Structure 1
C-alpha cells in the first residue's frame, strides 16, 4: 500500500480511528469520565501501521442514517 500511495491517493472508508473508537466505546460503559485518560497508550498510533496524511470525518443526521440502513 505504501508504494501505491506514493503514486496516487488511496481512499478508504474506515481505518484505525474507527476501529479504536469502537473498541474503546464497547469496552467502557457509563459517563465520558470512564474513558481512558488523555495521553493513555490506548490512543497512540500503532507503530507498524501506516499513518494517513489526511483524515476526513463525515457526519450524518441520525434520521438519514436510519433511512439509508432501512433502504439497503
Structure 2
C-alpha cells in the first residue's frame, strides 16, 4: 500500500510539471514572440485534462469510504 501511495504522489509531481501541448500547437506557438499565449494555452490544456482525473478519484474515494465504513459498522 505504501508503494502505491509513493508512486501516486511521485507521478502527481511529474503531472504538474508536464507540457500538454500537441505537436501542431507547439509548432505554431513557438514562433510567437513573448510566449504568453503558449503558456496560457498550456495551462488551459492542463486544466481541462485534470478535471476528469479529479472526478474519477473523488468517485473512487467515495466508493472506497462507503465500503470500509459499512464494514466497520457491521463488526
How high is the TM-score relative to the length of structure 1?
0.30
**Higher normalized contact order (CA 8 Å, seq sep 6+, divided by chain length):** 2
Q: Which has the higher helix share?
A: 2
How high is the TM-score relative to the length of structure 2?
0.29
